[in-house]
Amino acid sequence: MTFSLAGCAAGGMPEGAAHLSATECRDLAACKTNAPITPECNRSELAALEKAGYDPFASFDPNYPEDLQAAQRQVERWYQADCQQAPPN
């Protein structure tokens, strides 16, 4: 599984609330490196994509790959907002 981020807007979350957990942020950051992909990376990526509205288990998806790409874009926006650390001083 290749790691690429994005997505659809997920409803029901308060404005300004983090969409990705600290574990997802850690695993997704590791996925963005050239390190070998781990099961943890795959699980966090899949969980984030599902939060963004992508259903990997849909038996027939007439909008594939557009809906996956939309979910990847949303997850990337969440990653930038929720996971990026301020540069050290």
DSSP-assigned states of every residue in the chain: -----BBPPPPSPPTT--SS-HHHHHHHHHHTSSSPP-HHHHHHHHHHHHHTT--TT-S--TTTTHHHHHHHHHHHHHHHHHTPPPPP-
In a domain, 14, yes or no: no
pLDDT of residue 31: 87
Which domain covers residue 65, as residue numbers?
A: 22-82
In a domain, 29, yes or no: yes
Provide the domain count of the chain. Answer: 1
Determine the average pLDDT of the residues in 35-54. Answer: 91
Which tops the pLDDT comparison, 63 or 11? Answer: 63
pTM of the full structure: 0.72
pLDDT of residue 17: 63
In a domain, 46, yes or no: yes
In a domain, 71, yes or no: yes
